[in-house]
Amino acid sequence: SYELTQPPSVSVSPGQTARITCSGDALPKKYAYWYQQKSGQAPVLVIYEDNKRPSGIPERFSGSSSGTMATLTISGAQVEDEADYYCYSTDSSGNHRVFGGGTKLTVL
């Protein structure tokens, strides 16, 4: 079955740039989506279609994709950005949706 691979954790100091990667064989052909989930809350979409930002999401959140890897970048990470981040996409057939394993971002 299709898999998306993320690092389990990323740690940065406030104001630094955090980068979270997501690798998957179908990413050259399929968009990546990124969800932020804070403790005890439902997920929130922060990036869609590789690099688009929904309204209300701060400009410090950006996304990119190249080849089999998508990247979520948080420029000038803030303490309130501490959360679990999940990439999400479909397999090459489009029939199955898959979340990455999630990356715990620590900002301290």
Partner 1 sequence: EVQLVESGGGLVKPGGSLRLSCAASGFTFSRYSMNWVRQAPGKGLEWVSSISSGSSYIYYADSLKGRFTISRDNAKNSLYLQMNSLRAEDTAVYYCARAVDTAMVSYDYWGQGTLVTVSS
Contact positions vs partner 1 (CB under 8 A): 1, 30-31, 33, 35, 37, 42-45, 48-49, 54, 84, 86, 88-90, 94-102
Cα 84 to its chain centre, rounded Å, is 9
In degrees, rounded to 5, the angle at the alpha carbon of residue 59 between the alpha carbons of residues 53 and 65 is 50
Q: How far is the CB of 59 from partner 1 (least distance, A)?
A: 19
Q: How far is the CB of 16 from partner 1 (least distance, A)?
A: 25
Tokens 């279609």, residue located: 49
Cα 101 to its chain centre, rounded Å, is 11
Q: How far is the CB of 19 from partner 1 (least distance, A)?
A: 19
Q: How far is the CB of 97 from partner 1 (least distance, A)?
A: 4
12 versus 45: smaller Cβ distance to partner 1: 45
Name 96's Cβ contacts closer than 8 Å, sequence gap at least 6.
Answer: 1, 2, 90
76 versus 101: smaller Cβ distance to partner 1: 101
